[in-house]
Amino acid sequence: MMKRKGFTLIELIVILAIIGVLGAMLLPSLMGYVENAKKKATVQNGKTIYMSAMLALTTDEAAWESFYTPQNNWVAYEATEDGCIVNTTTEYKGVSSTYSKKITNLKSPLEQEGNYRFTVVARVDGYNHDTGGDWSNPHDITNVFRTWNYSDRRYKTFVDAMCKDLNMKMGLKNDGDFPVKMPYRKREDGGSLKLIRWLVVYRLDDPSKVEIWAGDGYKCENGPAYRVYPDPAINYK
């Protein structure tokens, strides 16, 4: 009868060490592939929203008029040409978060040549998240827009038309899943809050340029952070 020889303890330790080294070498590459996949999925979802918005604007005259209805007091956001919000971070009781500037005089100069301003028309949260009611809390997000909503009632007709193509309801807070998700939440601008919100916007210097942005919804503000589509910001490339 033949005697079977197994691995010695030293041989097992060597094998485990080799596996550990290979794993340490491959893990960063694997994580990189996962992150890139999430970024691509986010851009594709942004494109889906963009196409539905453009379909509503090009096929529904009432939706177009609703989308471009002038406001008495603009809430405008300044962005860099490469798709990042200006003044992305501010210290609020030691916590860094995105915030918006309310601009009543659009003739005021941009902070840097090449920047542009935009206004938000519609918003929806990419996934569920905790909310609070204390406005002194820097982590407070006061609303969850589980379905598409509008930043001004004048935009209702447009949002309703866009939702029909997205097969999503408007202005209802139900318990269903989100047909359009935002899987990539990391940020590289120093902001502490995760990205949870899709924003449909248009540029004030060229209203024909419609864009899809990712935001954090800080304190019920729209909280834009990065442009997702078209021409995604560096965070999604």
Total domains present in the chain: 1
Residue 70 belongs to a domain: yes
Pair 60, 159: CB distance under 8 Å:
no
The boundaries of the domain holding residue 139 are 32-236
Residue 18 belongs to a domain: no
User: What is the structure's pLDDT at 217?
Assistant: 74
Query: Residue 145 contacts by C-beta under 8 Å, 6 or more apart in sequence?
Result: 123, 124, 125, 173, 197, 217
Residue 97 belongs to a domain: yes
User: What is the structure's pLDDT at 20?
Assistant: 74
Nearest partner of 200 among 64, 69, 49, judged by Cα: 49
Helix (H, G, I), strand (E, B) or coil at 156: helix
For residue 110, with 0-12 CB atoms within 10 Å meaning exposed, 13-18 middle and 19 or more buried, which class applies?
Answer: middle
Residue 9 belongs to a domain: no
The region that residue 202 occupies, defined by phi over 0 for left and psi between -120 and 50 for alpha, beta otherwise, is beta
Q: Taking the complete model, does pTM exceed 0.95, yes or no? A: no
Residue 27 belongs to a domain: no
Give the separation between CA 21 and CA 189, rounded to whole angstroms.
33
User: What is the structure's pLDDT at 183?
Assistant: 67
User: What is the structure's pLDDT at 5?
Assistant: 59
Residue 195 belongs to a domain: yes
Residue 207 belongs to a domain: yes
pLDDT tens profile 119-167 = 899 988 876 666 665 555 555 566 777 778 887 888 999 999 998 888 7
Query: What distance separates the 2 farthest-apart alpha carbons in the chain?
Result: 95
- pLDDT mean for each 10 residues of the chain (237 residues): 62 77 66 79 90 94 92 80 76 51 73 90 78 57 76 88 77 52 73 82 93 80 87 89
User: What is the structure's pLDDT at 181?
Assistant: 73
Residue 15 belongs to a domain: no
Q: Which residues of the chain form beta strands (DSSP E)?
A: 77-79, 90-92, 95-97, 116-125, 149-150, 197-203, 210-215, 224-229
Structure tokens at 66: 């609703």
User: What is the structure's pLDDT at 173?
Assistant: 46
